[in-house]
Amino acid sequence: MRRRGFTLTEILIVIALIVLMLGLAVPAFNLVRGSRSVDGAENQVAAMLGRARADAIGLQQPHGIMFFIDPTTDRVTVAEVFAADYPPPNAVPAATRDVYLDLAPDTDFLPLPPGVLAFVLADGSVNVNTGIRASDGYLGYNQTLDSNGTALTAVPQLGGVILFNGDGQLISRTYGYRTRINDVATKMQALIGVDAPGSAPDRFVDAGAQAVQAPLTQQPGSALGFVLCDREQFTANGTLADPVMSNTAYSQAEFNEEKWIDDNSSALIINRYNGTLTRAD
């Protein structure tokens, strides 16, 4: 009795169809996975914001969150921070920021999903004549400046900050970091690896460009919202570093990068009074 089987042509056709279906399915799977990652990151950040706001109210001291890139995992990570003691009048260098932050005690870092980036909102001023953004709309991940205005090569690089006051209200303040107390390193110093140039260590360092540096004089302030986007797609269109934190003028490349973020990220605005998140355009 003669047995029927599949011809080589039929087998090749079936294999080709399977490959085609896989080719169509993988991008769709990645899209769904990315969306869920962004949603998961939104929930994680919302939880951290709620904790920081509760601590601000309970301790009657500004608390918030800070984004940074963890060098051990290369993931965006969230830390809780608080407004520490302010530099004394005779501090060297003199204080130039509204608050100086340290890491909140007894709190853990929260890594976001590996495929997600978070950028806090900056001022994003727009030229009234051209309608084009004239300064940074988002704050990237940057090196800290020492008292001489020189970018330190410390890791991890720091992102933006979101702060609440003792009434639980969102506030915008320029900020720096408390790195030492009586020459003893703080938790913040241990994280960012900042030590002063010269013989004496800085006890406070400023985030962002010094006011005397030209052409960029913008000092970053704590943000009113943030965006989440897919990291793989972003890195094909921009870089994590951001000129707002260094002595570099706003550029066309930066404009193109931020235009991509405008069009491809989930923007979240924080309610000023109750700390809840609202999706925005």
pLDDT over threshold 70, residue 254:
yes
Q: Is the dihedral of CA 217, 220, 221, 224 positive or negative?
A: positive
Q: How far apart are CA 95 and CA 143, in angstroms?
A: 19
108-146 pLDDT tens trace? 999 999 999 999 998 777 777 776 776 778 888 876 655
- The pLDDT of 75-81, averaged and rounded, is 95
What is the average pLDDT score of the chain?
80
pLDDT band at 104 (very low <50, low <70, confident <90, very high): very high
pLDDT band at 13 (very low <50, low <70, confident <90, very high): confident
- pLDDT the model gives residue 31: 43
Q: How far apart are CA 141 and CA 157, in angstroms?
A: 5
- pLDDT the model gives residue 29: 44
The residue with greater pLDDT, 271 or 280, is 271
- pLDDT the model gives residue 265: 92
By the 8 A CB rule, do 38 and 229 touch?
Answer: yes
Average the pLDDT over each of 71-75, 120-124, 138-142, 237-241 and give the range with the smallest value: 237-241
pLDDT over threshold 80, residue 21:
no
pLDDT over threshold 60, residue 247:
no
Average the pLDDT over each of 62-76, 146-160, 165-179 and give the range with the smallest value: 146-160
DSSP result, 108-166: --EEPPTTEEEEEE----B-TTT--B-S-SEE--BPPB-TTSPBP--SSPEEEEEEE-T
Q: How far apart are CA 182 and CA 190, in angstroms?
A: 15
Q: What are phi and psi of 147, to 5 degrees?
A: -65, -15
pLDDT over threshold 90, residue 151:
no
